[in-house]
Amino acid sequence: MSGSGHLDVAADVAEFRALLKTGLSPLQIVQQEITTGNSRIVSNGRYQKLREHFAGAFGVSPSRDVLMVGSAKLGFSIKPKRRYQPFGNESDVDVAIVSPQLYGRLWAEVRECRSARVQWDSVDNLNHLKNDHLAGVIKPYLLPTSRVAPSKGLMFDLCAEIQRLDIVEVPVTLAVWYDIDCLEAYQCRAVRECQAEEA
């Protein structure tokens, strides 16, 4: 799976499913197919622009700390409910920012919201945020809308700007990971499930 920006999804799925049976560990597959390499959907030039856009805003490395994951990376989903369905017009581009400093900044905003007794948009969002924190990820859309949590608005604006700049045509969803180990461990769960289905 070495190309980029192409749409031979059936062949990509077949190749991925064959890879699941080679004896590689879930982590080896994640590192080979998800956290390194090019996107199957977004051209290399546009992927680089996307990485530079977020890296410049957050002060991280574009090549190391800004990663495309999900169906925009593989060309198809490996989530249980959408397993092997191709990236399409209803899909979004999932971007992972790997930065303990940014993660810490967001978590400080969460604590500030608690101290200021900010009303959460929903109890579900708060519970989802707590569960995600255990996995080492913060998704900005789960943060409350508040002046004490300004990063949520900034991140939404950055994602919207990606579309305005015509880097990608579909919405961008951002997640901030504490470190690469947390991101890869999360991705391993889906790969492990895929392997179990092929056994």
In a domain, 2, yes or no: no
What local confidence, expressed as pLDDT, does residue 117 receive?
Answer: 93
Q: Residue 163 is encoded by which pair of tokens?
A: 């579309």
What local confidence, expressed as pLDDT, does residue 2 receive?
Answer: 38
In a domain, 184, yes or no: yes
Compare 183 and 6 and report the one with higher pLDDT. 183
What local confidence, expressed as pLDDT, does residue 175 receive?
Answer: 97
Give me the percent of the chain exceeding a pLDDT of 70: 96
Mean pLDDT confidence for 8-12: 89
The burial class, CB within 10 Å (0-12 / 13-18 / 19+), for 54 is buried
In a domain, 132, yes or no: yes
Convert the pLDDT of each residue in 105-163 to its tens digit. Answer: 999 999 999 999 998 888 999 999 999 999 999 999 999 989 998 999 999 999 999 98
What local confidence, expressed as pLDDT, does residue 89 receive?
Answer: 86
Q: Residue 199 is encoded by which pair of tokens?
A: 């056994």
Tell whether the torsion through CA atoms of 140, 145, 148 and 154 is positive or negative: positive
Q: Residue 171 is encoded by which pair of tokens?
A: 């919405």
What local confidence, expressed as pLDDT, does residue 58 receive?
Answer: 94
Mean pLDDT confidence for 39-49: 94
Mean pLDDT estimate for the chain: 93
In a domain, 1, yes or no: no
7 — pLDDT class (breaks 50, 70, 90): low
First to last CA, the chain: 21
Chain mean position to CA 2:
20
In a domain, 4, yes or no: no
In a domain, 3, yes or no: no
In a domain, 13, yes or no: yes
50: Cβ contacts below 8 Å, ≥ 6 apart = 42, 66, 68, 93, 95, 162, 167, 168, 172
83 — pLDDT class (breaks 50, 70, 90): very high
Helices 151-164/100-115 angle, 10° precision? 130
In a domain, 116, yes or no: yes
Report which listed range, 8-17, 21-30, 80-89, is most confident.
21-30
Mean pLDDT confidence for 18-32: 97
Span of 7-11, 35-39, 76-80, 168-172 with lowest mean pLDDT: 7-11
How far is it, in rounded angstroms, from Cα 76 to Cα 69? Answer: 11
Which residues constitute the domain of residue 87?
Answer: 9-198
Count of structural domains within the chain: 1
